[in-house]
Structure 1
Amino acid sequence: MLRLSRQLDYGQPAPDFALPDTEGTIRTLGEFAEAPALLVAFICNHCPFVLHVLDGFIDFARDYAPKGLQVVAISSNWPDDYPEDDYAHMQALARDKAFPFPYLHDDSQDVALAYNAICTPDFFLYDGQRRLTYAGQFDASRPKINRPPVPGLPPLRHDLPVTGEDLRGAVDALLAGLPAPQPQHPSAGCSIKWRPGKDPSWA
Protein backbone atom coordinates (compact mmCIF):
# COMPACT_ATOMS: atom_id res chain seq x y z
CA MET A 1 0.00 0.00 0.00
CA LEU A 2 1.32 3.44 -0.94
CA ARG A 3 2.23 5.66 1.99
CA LEU A 4 3.70 9.13 2.41
CA SER A 5 6.28 9.94 5.04
CA ARG A 6 5.08 11.95 8.01
CA GLN A 7 5.96 15.61 8.38
CA LEU A 8 7.49 15.71 11.85
CA ASP A 9 8.53 18.50 14.19
CA TYR A 10 11.99 19.68 13.25
CA GLY A 11 14.50 19.88 16.08
CA GLN A 12 13.44 16.69 17.84
CA PRO A 13 16.33 14.40 18.86
CA ALA A 14 17.28 11.19 17.10
CA PRO A 15 16.00 8.16 19.04
CA ASP A 16 18.66 5.75 20.23
CA PHE A 17 19.09 2.32 18.68
CA ALA A 18 21.17 -0.83 19.14
CA LEU A 19 20.66 -3.12 16.17
CA PRO A 20 22.66 -5.81 14.35
CA ASP A 21 24.16 -4.98 10.98
CA THR A 22 24.48 -7.54 8.19
CA GLU A 23 27.76 -8.77 9.70
CA GLY A 24 26.08 -9.43 13.05
CA THR A 25 27.73 -6.48 14.83
CA ILE A 26 25.50 -4.41 17.11
CA ARG A 27 25.55 -0.79 15.95
CA THR A 28 24.38 2.10 18.10
CA LEU A 29 23.51 5.75 17.62
CA GLY A 30 26.33 6.75 19.95
CA GLU A 31 29.10 5.26 17.83
CA PHE A 32 28.42 7.88 15.14
CA ALA A 33 28.60 10.82 17.56
CA GLU A 34 31.58 12.44 15.80
CA ALA A 35 29.81 12.74 12.44
CA PRO A 36 28.55 16.29 11.77
CA ALA A 37 25.47 14.91 10.03
CA LEU A 38 23.53 11.65 10.30
CA LEU A 39 20.98 10.23 7.89
CA VAL A 40 18.77 7.38 9.11
CA ALA A 41 17.03 5.73 6.15
CA PHE A 42 14.32 3.11 6.50
CA ILE A 43 14.49 0.84 3.47
CA CYS A 44 13.84 -2.81 2.64
CA ASN A 45 14.73 -5.33 -0.04
CA HIS A 46 11.49 -5.80 -1.97
CA CYS A 47 9.87 -2.36 -2.25
CA PRO A 48 9.85 -1.01 -5.84
CA PHE A 49 10.19 2.54 -4.50
CA VAL A 50 13.41 1.57 -2.70
CA LEU A 51 14.75 -0.41 -5.65
CA HIS A 52 14.03 2.53 -7.95
CA VAL A 53 16.36 4.85 -6.02
CA LEU A 54 18.78 2.32 -4.52
CA ASP A 55 21.73 2.74 -6.88
CA GLY A 56 21.36 6.52 -6.70
CA PHE A 57 21.15 6.35 -2.94
CA ILE A 58 24.35 4.28 -2.78
CA ASP A 59 26.09 6.86 -4.99
CA PHE A 60 24.75 9.63 -2.75
CA ALA A 61 26.15 7.94 0.38
CA ARG A 62 29.55 7.53 -1.27
CA ASP A 63 29.55 11.16 -2.43
CA TYR A 64 28.74 12.58 1.00
CA ALA A 65 30.77 10.31 3.28
CA PRO A 66 33.98 12.37 2.73
CA LYS A 67 31.99 15.53 3.53
CA GLY A 68 30.97 14.23 6.96
CA LEU A 69 27.60 12.55 6.43
CA GLN A 70 27.09 9.23 8.19
CA VAL A 71 24.35 7.12 6.58
CA VAL A 72 22.62 4.31 8.44
CA ALA A 73 19.99 2.17 6.70
CA ILE A 74 17.43 0.16 8.66
CA SER A 75 15.00 -2.53 7.57
CA SER A 76 12.04 -3.00 9.91
CA ASN A 77 9.74 -5.06 7.69
CA TRP A 78 8.07 -8.17 9.09
CA PRO A 79 8.95 -10.68 6.34
CA ASP A 80 5.98 -13.07 6.46
CA ASP A 81 4.44 -11.65 3.28
CA TYR A 82 7.75 -10.67 1.66
CA PRO A 83 10.45 -13.27 2.50
CA GLU A 84 13.02 -11.26 0.55
CA ASP A 85 12.95 -8.76 3.41
CA ASP A 86 14.34 -11.25 5.94
CA TYR A 87 17.78 -10.95 7.52
CA ALA A 88 19.48 -13.43 5.16
CA HIS A 89 18.28 -11.49 2.13
CA MET A 90 19.38 -8.23 3.78
CA GLN A 91 22.87 -9.71 4.13
CA ALA A 92 22.89 -10.75 0.47
CA LEU A 93 21.72 -7.33 -0.78
CA ALA A 94 24.28 -5.45 1.30
CA ARG A 95 27.02 -7.73 -0.03
CA ASP A 96 25.90 -7.73 -3.66
CA LYS A 97 25.49 -3.94 -3.78
CA ALA A 98 28.58 -3.27 -1.63
CA PHE A 99 26.64 -0.94 0.65
CA PRO A 100 28.92 1.89 1.85
CA PHE A 101 26.82 2.19 5.02
CA PRO A 102 25.63 -0.20 7.74
CA TYR A 103 22.32 -1.97 7.01
CA LEU A 104 20.59 -2.74 10.31
CA HIS A 105 17.87 -5.24 11.16
CA ASP A 106 15.05 -3.87 13.34
CA ASP A 107 13.38 -7.20 14.07
CA SER A 108 11.29 -5.88 16.97
CA GLN A 109 10.23 -2.82 14.95
CA ASP A 110 10.70 -0.70 18.06
CA VAL A 111 13.18 1.57 16.27
CA ALA A 112 10.78 2.20 13.39
CA LEU A 113 8.13 3.14 15.94
CA ALA A 114 10.52 5.47 17.77
CA TYR A 115 11.39 7.27 14.53
CA ASN A 116 7.77 7.46 13.37
CA ALA A 117 8.76 5.67 10.18
CA ILE A 118 5.83 4.82 7.96
CA CYS A 119 7.11 3.89 4.51
CA THR A 120 10.08 2.63 2.54
CA PRO A 121 12.06 4.66 1.79
CA ASP A 122 11.72 7.07 4.71
CA PHE A 123 14.58 9.51 5.39
CA PHE A 124 15.50 11.33 8.62
CA LEU A 125 18.41 13.79 8.54
CA TYR A 126 20.00 15.01 11.79
CA ASP A 127 22.58 17.69 12.54
CA GLY A 128 25.66 17.34 14.73
CA GLN A 129 23.56 17.62 17.89
CA ARG A 130 21.25 14.96 16.43
CA ARG A 131 18.33 17.30 15.93
CA LEU A 132 16.01 16.56 13.04
CA THR A 133 16.48 18.95 10.14
CA TYR A 134 14.90 17.09 7.22
CA ALA A 135 12.27 14.38 6.81
CA GLY A 136 11.30 14.09 3.17
CA GLN A 137 11.88 12.56 -0.23
CA PHE A 138 15.13 11.57 -1.93
CA ASP A 139 13.81 13.31 -5.04
CA ALA A 140 10.58 13.46 -7.04
CA SER A 141 11.31 10.42 -9.22
CA ARG A 142 9.02 7.43 -8.72
CA PRO A 143 8.94 3.91 -10.20
CA LYS A 144 6.48 3.02 -12.93
CA ILE A 145 4.19 0.57 -11.19
CA ASN A 146 0.66 -0.62 -11.79
CA ARG A 147 -1.11 1.12 -8.94
CA PRO A 148 -4.21 3.29 -9.03
CA PRO A 149 -3.77 6.98 -8.19
CA VAL A 150 -4.30 7.92 -4.57
CA PRO A 151 -7.22 10.34 -4.12
CA GLY A 152 -6.01 13.79 -3.13
CA LEU A 153 -2.37 13.15 -4.11
CA PRO A 154 -0.61 14.27 -7.29
CA PRO A 155 0.24 11.50 -9.77
CA LEU A 156 3.58 9.75 -9.37
CA ARG A 157 6.28 11.15 -11.64
CA HIS A 158 7.67 8.29 -13.73
CA ASP A 159 9.40 10.60 -16.20
CA LEU A 160 12.06 12.02 -13.86
CA PRO A 161 15.60 10.67 -13.39
CA VAL A 162 16.85 9.63 -9.97
CA THR A 163 19.11 12.45 -8.79
CA GLY A 164 18.65 12.69 -5.02
CA GLU A 165 18.09 16.42 -5.56
CA ASP A 166 15.99 17.03 -2.44
CA LEU A 167 18.15 15.10 -0.01
CA ARG A 168 21.38 16.43 -1.51
CA GLY A 169 20.07 19.97 -1.07
CA ALA A 170 19.16 19.28 2.55
CA VAL A 171 22.58 17.80 3.36
CA ASP A 172 24.42 20.60 1.55
CA ALA A 173 22.50 23.17 3.60
CA LEU A 174 23.11 21.35 6.88
CA LEU A 175 26.85 21.02 6.28
CA ALA A 176 27.00 24.72 5.34
CA GLY A 177 25.24 25.70 8.57
CA LEU A 178 22.08 26.79 6.76
CA PRO A 179 18.43 25.85 7.34
CA ALA A 180 17.10 22.97 5.28
CA PRO A 181 15.40 24.04 2.03
CA GLN A 182 11.64 24.48 2.23
CA PRO A 183 9.13 23.14 1.56
CA GLN A 184 10.07 19.57 2.41
CA HIS A 185 8.15 17.15 0.25
CA PRO A 186 7.23 13.79 1.80
CA SER A 187 8.77 10.59 0.61
CA ALA A 188 6.43 8.09 -1.07
CA GLY A 189 6.76 4.34 -0.83
CA CYS A 190 5.42 1.03 0.36
CA SER A 191 4.01 0.84 3.86
CA ILE A 192 6.24 -0.74 6.47
CA LYS A 193 5.07 -4.32 6.97
CA TRP A 194 4.23 -4.50 10.67
CA ARG A 195 4.08 -7.53 12.90
CA PRO A 196 0.52 -8.59 13.77
CA GLY A 197 -0.70 -6.26 16.47
CA LYS A 198 2.37 -4.03 16.21
CA ASP A 199 1.19 -1.53 13.61
CA PRO A 200 0.74 1.96 15.06
CA SER A 201 -2.44 3.97 14.67
CA TRP A 202 -0.74 6.37 12.23
CA ALA A 203 0.39 3.57 9.89
Structure 2
Amino acid sequence: MRLIDSSLAAAFIVSSLVCGASSPGFAGEFNRVLSPGDAMPRWEALEGVDGKRHAAADVAEAKCVVVAFTCNSCPYAVDVEDRLLALDKAYPDGTVQLIAINVNKVAEDQLDAMKQRAQDKGFEFPYLYDPSQKIAKAFGATRTPEFFVFDQQRKLVYQGSFDDSPSGKDIKTHYLKDALQATLAGKEVTLRETVPIGCNIRYERQRRRRRD
Protein backbone atom coordinates (compact mmCIF):
# COMPACT_ATOMS: atom_id res chain seq x y z
CA MET A 1 0.00 0.00 0.00
CA ARG A 2 1.37 3.44 -0.88
CA LEU A 3 1.28 5.74 2.10
CA ILE A 4 0.56 9.11 0.53
CA ASP A 5 -2.02 11.83 0.94
CA SER A 6 -4.64 11.48 -1.81
CA SER A 7 -4.76 15.22 -2.55
CA LEU A 8 -1.01 15.31 -3.13
CA ALA A 9 -1.22 12.24 -5.33
CA ALA A 10 -3.93 13.91 -7.40
CA ALA A 11 -1.79 17.04 -7.73
CA PHE A 12 1.13 14.94 -8.90
CA ILE A 13 -0.99 13.21 -11.55
CA VAL A 14 -2.30 16.53 -12.86
CA SER A 15 1.16 18.13 -12.97
CA SER A 16 2.58 15.05 -14.69
CA LEU A 17 -0.10 15.19 -17.38
CA VAL A 18 0.51 18.90 -17.91
CA CYS A 19 4.26 18.44 -18.16
CA GLY A 20 4.04 15.35 -20.32
CA ALA A 21 5.66 13.09 -17.74
CA SER A 22 5.18 9.34 -17.95
CA SER A 23 5.38 6.73 -15.22
CA PRO A 24 7.69 4.07 -16.76
CA GLY A 25 11.34 4.26 -15.79
CA PHE A 26 10.96 5.60 -12.28
CA ALA A 27 13.56 4.44 -9.74
CA GLY A 28 11.45 5.36 -6.73
CA GLU A 29 7.70 5.89 -6.69
CA PHE A 30 8.00 9.50 -7.80
CA ASN A 31 11.66 9.90 -8.81
CA ARG A 32 13.27 8.71 -12.03
CA VAL A 33 16.77 8.46 -10.55
CA LEU A 34 16.85 7.79 -6.79
CA SER A 35 15.05 5.31 -4.59
CA PRO A 36 15.30 4.79 -0.80
CA GLY A 37 18.61 3.24 0.16
CA ASP A 38 20.56 4.83 -2.69
CA ALA A 39 23.79 6.69 -1.98
CA MET A 40 23.80 10.49 -1.87
CA PRO A 41 25.03 12.02 -5.14
CA ARG A 42 28.18 14.07 -4.57
CA TRP A 43 28.72 17.68 -5.49
CA GLU A 44 32.04 19.50 -5.83
CA ALA A 45 32.97 23.18 -5.84
CA LEU A 46 29.47 24.64 -6.04
CA GLU A 47 29.54 28.37 -5.35
CA GLY A 48 27.50 29.55 -2.39
CA VAL A 49 25.96 32.88 -1.48
CA ASP A 50 28.83 33.24 1.01
CA GLY A 51 31.32 33.48 -1.86
CA LYS A 52 32.90 30.12 -1.03
CA ARG A 53 33.00 26.84 -2.92
CA HIS A 54 31.18 23.94 -1.26
CA ALA A 55 31.44 20.14 -1.60
CA ALA A 56 29.58 17.17 -0.18
CA ALA A 57 32.66 16.40 1.92
CA ASP A 58 32.00 19.57 3.92
CA VAL A 59 29.11 17.87 5.75
CA ALA A 60 30.92 14.61 6.51
CA GLU A 61 30.45 14.98 10.28
CA ALA A 62 26.66 15.43 10.20
CA LYS A 63 24.46 12.53 11.28
CA CYS A 64 21.84 13.50 8.71
CA VAL A 65 21.96 15.66 5.61
CA VAL A 66 18.93 17.39 4.13
CA VAL A 67 19.31 18.52 0.52
CA ALA A 68 16.66 21.00 -0.63
CA PHE A 69 16.30 21.97 -4.27
CA THR A 70 14.80 25.43 -4.23
CA CYS A 71 14.95 28.84 -5.89
CA ASN A 72 13.90 32.46 -5.51
CA SER A 73 11.19 32.69 -8.16
CA CYS A 74 8.81 29.86 -7.27
CA PRO A 75 6.01 30.78 -4.81
CA TYR A 76 6.07 27.25 -3.37
CA ALA A 77 9.79 27.65 -2.65
CA VAL A 78 9.19 31.05 -1.05
CA ASP A 79 6.42 29.59 1.13
CA VAL A 80 8.78 26.96 2.58
CA GLU A 81 11.63 29.35 3.45
CA ASP A 82 10.51 30.03 7.02
CA ARG A 83 10.21 26.30 7.64
CA LEU A 84 13.74 25.82 6.33
CA LEU A 85 15.01 28.52 8.69
CA ALA A 86 13.26 26.83 11.62
CA LEU A 87 14.67 23.44 10.65
CA ASP A 88 18.20 24.81 10.46
CA LYS A 89 17.88 26.48 13.87
CA ALA A 90 16.54 23.28 15.44
CA TYR A 91 19.95 21.62 15.08
CA PRO A 92 22.56 24.22 16.10
CA ASP A 93 25.05 21.47 16.99
CA GLY A 94 25.35 20.40 13.36
CA THR A 95 23.71 17.00 13.92
CA VAL A 96 21.58 17.77 10.88
CA GLN A 97 23.06 19.76 8.01
CA LEU A 98 20.73 21.54 5.60
CA ILE A 99 22.01 22.27 2.09
CA ALA A 100 19.88 24.33 -0.31
CA ILE A 101 20.68 24.15 -4.02
CA ASN A 102 19.34 26.19 -6.93
CA VAL A 103 19.93 25.27 -10.57
CA ASN A 104 17.56 27.62 -12.40
CA LYS A 105 19.22 30.03 -14.82
CA VAL A 106 16.59 32.76 -15.21
CA ALA A 107 17.71 36.18 -13.97
CA GLU A 108 15.72 36.14 -10.72
CA ASP A 109 17.32 32.83 -9.74
CA GLN A 110 20.97 33.53 -10.52
CA LEU A 111 23.68 33.91 -7.91
CA ASP A 112 23.43 37.67 -7.32
CA ALA A 113 19.70 37.36 -6.71
CA MET A 114 20.32 34.37 -4.44
CA LYS A 115 22.76 36.42 -2.36
CA GLN A 116 20.18 39.16 -1.92
CA ARG A 117 17.48 36.66 -0.98
CA ALA A 118 19.73 34.94 1.54
CA GLN A 119 20.57 38.30 3.10
CA ASP A 120 16.95 39.43 3.24
CA LYS A 121 15.77 36.18 4.85
CA GLY A 122 18.80 35.59 7.07
CA PHE A 123 19.81 32.21 5.66
CA GLU A 124 22.59 30.70 7.74
CA PHE A 125 22.65 27.39 5.87
CA PRO A 126 24.58 26.94 2.60
CA TYR A 127 22.64 28.13 -0.43
CA LEU A 128 24.48 26.85 -3.50
CA TYR A 129 24.22 27.53 -7.22
CA ASP A 130 24.81 25.02 -9.99
CA PRO A 131 24.24 26.59 -13.42
CA SER A 132 25.35 23.32 -15.06
CA GLN A 133 22.22 21.71 -13.51
CA LYS A 134 24.14 18.43 -13.21
CA ILE A 135 23.56 17.98 -9.47
CA ALA A 136 19.77 18.30 -9.79
CA LYS A 137 19.80 15.71 -12.57
CA ALA A 138 21.92 13.39 -10.41
CA PHE A 139 19.22 13.59 -7.72
CA GLY A 140 16.38 13.24 -10.19
CA ALA A 141 14.92 16.47 -8.81
CA THR A 142 12.04 17.94 -10.80
CA ARG A 143 10.41 20.51 -8.49
CA THR A 144 11.18 23.51 -6.31
CA PRO A 145 11.03 22.83 -3.49
CA GLU A 146 12.00 19.16 -3.35
CA PHE A 147 13.71 17.45 -0.41
CA PHE A 148 16.07 14.54 0.17
CA VAL A 149 17.13 13.19 3.59
CA PHE A 150 20.25 11.04 4.01
CA ASP A 151 21.42 9.15 7.08
CA GLN A 152 24.95 8.99 8.53
CA GLN A 153 25.98 6.46 5.88
CA ARG A 154 24.61 8.90 3.31
CA LYS A 155 21.88 6.55 2.22
CA LEU A 156 18.56 8.02 1.14
CA VAL A 157 15.87 7.61 3.80
CA TYR A 158 13.26 10.09 2.53
CA GLN A 159 12.45 12.11 -0.60
CA GLY A 160 9.57 14.35 -1.58
CA SER A 161 7.69 17.22 0.06
CA PHE A 162 8.55 19.00 3.32
CA ASP A 163 5.13 18.25 4.79
CA ASP A 164 1.52 17.82 3.68
CA SER A 165 0.86 21.55 3.24
CA PRO A 166 2.63 23.35 0.37
CA SER A 167 1.54 26.70 1.84
CA GLY A 168 2.60 25.76 5.37
CA LYS A 169 -0.94 26.19 6.73
CA ASP A 170 -2.86 23.51 8.63
CA ILE A 171 0.01 21.02 8.56
CA LYS A 172 -1.08 17.58 9.68
CA THR A 173 1.91 15.41 8.79
CA HIS A 174 5.53 16.54 9.02
CA TYR A 175 7.09 14.20 6.47
CA LEU A 176 10.65 15.49 6.57
CA LYS A 177 10.81 16.12 10.31
CA ASP A 178 9.38 12.68 11.03
CA ALA A 179 12.03 11.11 8.79
CA LEU A 180 14.78 13.00 10.59
CA GLN A 181 13.54 12.09 14.05
CA ALA A 182 13.25 8.40 13.17
CA THR A 183 16.68 8.31 11.57
CA LEU A 184 18.39 10.09 14.45
CA ALA A 185 16.72 7.68 16.87
CA GLY A 186 18.01 4.69 14.90
CA LYS A 187 14.54 3.73 13.70
CA GLU A 188 13.28 2.92 10.23
CA VAL A 189 11.50 5.68 8.36
CA THR A 190 7.96 4.45 7.68
CA LEU A 191 7.03 6.96 4.96
CA ARG A 192 10.01 7.18 2.65
CA GLU A 193 8.55 8.85 -0.42
CA THR A 194 5.93 11.51 -1.10
CA VAL A 195 4.99 13.56 -4.13
CA PRO A 196 7.11 16.71 -4.52
CA ILE A 197 4.74 19.64 -5.01
CA GLY A 198 6.10 22.85 -6.50
CA CYS A 199 7.25 24.59 -9.65
CA ASN A 200 9.10 22.71 -12.36
CA ILE A 201 12.86 23.03 -12.22
CA ARG A 202 13.74 25.05 -15.32
CA TYR A 203 16.01 22.59 -17.05
CA GLU A 204 17.60 23.81 -20.25
CA ARG A 205 16.42 21.95 -23.28
CA GLN A 206 19.07 19.98 -25.10
CA ARG A 207 18.96 20.64 -28.82
CA ARG A 208 19.04 17.55 -30.96
CA ARG A 209 21.71 17.42 -33.56
CA ARG A 210 20.50 17.07 -37.12
CA ARG A 211 21.51 13.82 -38.75
CA ASP A 212 23.35 14.07 -42.03
TM-score band w.r.t. shorter chain: 0.7 to 0.9
Computing the radius of gyration over CA atoms, which structure comes out larger, 1 or 2? 2
Whether 1:192 and 2:208 are equivalent positions in the alignment is no
Distance 1:164 1:61, change over 3 A: farther
SS of match in other structure, 2:164: coil
Shift of 1:164: 7.5
Gaps of 5+ in 2: 1-13, 22-29, 208-212
2:90 to 35, 59, 63: 63
1:12 to 35, 38, 47: 38
2:160 is equivalent to residue 136 of structure 1: yes
1:54 to 71, 76, 81: 81
Residue by residue over 1:96-126, the C-alpha shift from the partner in whole angstroms, topping out at 9 and shown as x without a partner, is 1111210000110011111111100110110
Of residues 145, 151, 160, the one that matches 1:121 is 145
TM-score after normalising by structure 1: 0.81
1:197, distance to aligned residue in structure 2 (A): 1.3
1:40 to 67, 71, 75: 67
Distance 2:177 2:111 in 1: 29
What is the TM-score normalised by the length of structure 2? 0.78
Match of 2:55 among 10, 28, 31: 28
Determine the structure 2 residue equivalent to 1:161: 170
In structure 2, distance between residues paired with 1:65 and 1:2:
37
Q: 1:181 deviation in Å?
A: 2.5
- Distance in structure 1 (CA, Å) of the matches to 2:195 and 2:51: 32
Q: CA deviation at 1:88?
A: 0.7
Determine if contact 1:78/1:193 at 8 Å carries over to the other structure. yes
Identity of aligned residues (%): 34
Please state whether the residue corresponding to 1:125 is helix, strand or coil: strand
User: What's the CA shift for 1:13?
Assistant: 0.7
Retained in 2: the 8 A contact 1:56–1:162? no
Greater relative CO, 1 or 2 (CA 8 Å, sep 6+): 1
Distance 1:52 1:17 in 2: 26
Runs (4 or more) in structure 1 with deviation over 6 Å come to none
1:178 alignment counterpart: 187
Contact preservation (8 Å) 2:98, 2:125: yes
Q: Which consecutive unaligned segments of at least 5 residues does structure 1 have?
A: 144-157, 199-203
Match for residue 116 of structure 2 among 92, 95, 98: 92
Count of residues paired in the alignment: 180
Whichever residue aligns with residue 15 of structure 1, its letter is P
Give the superposed CA RMSD.
Answer: 2.3
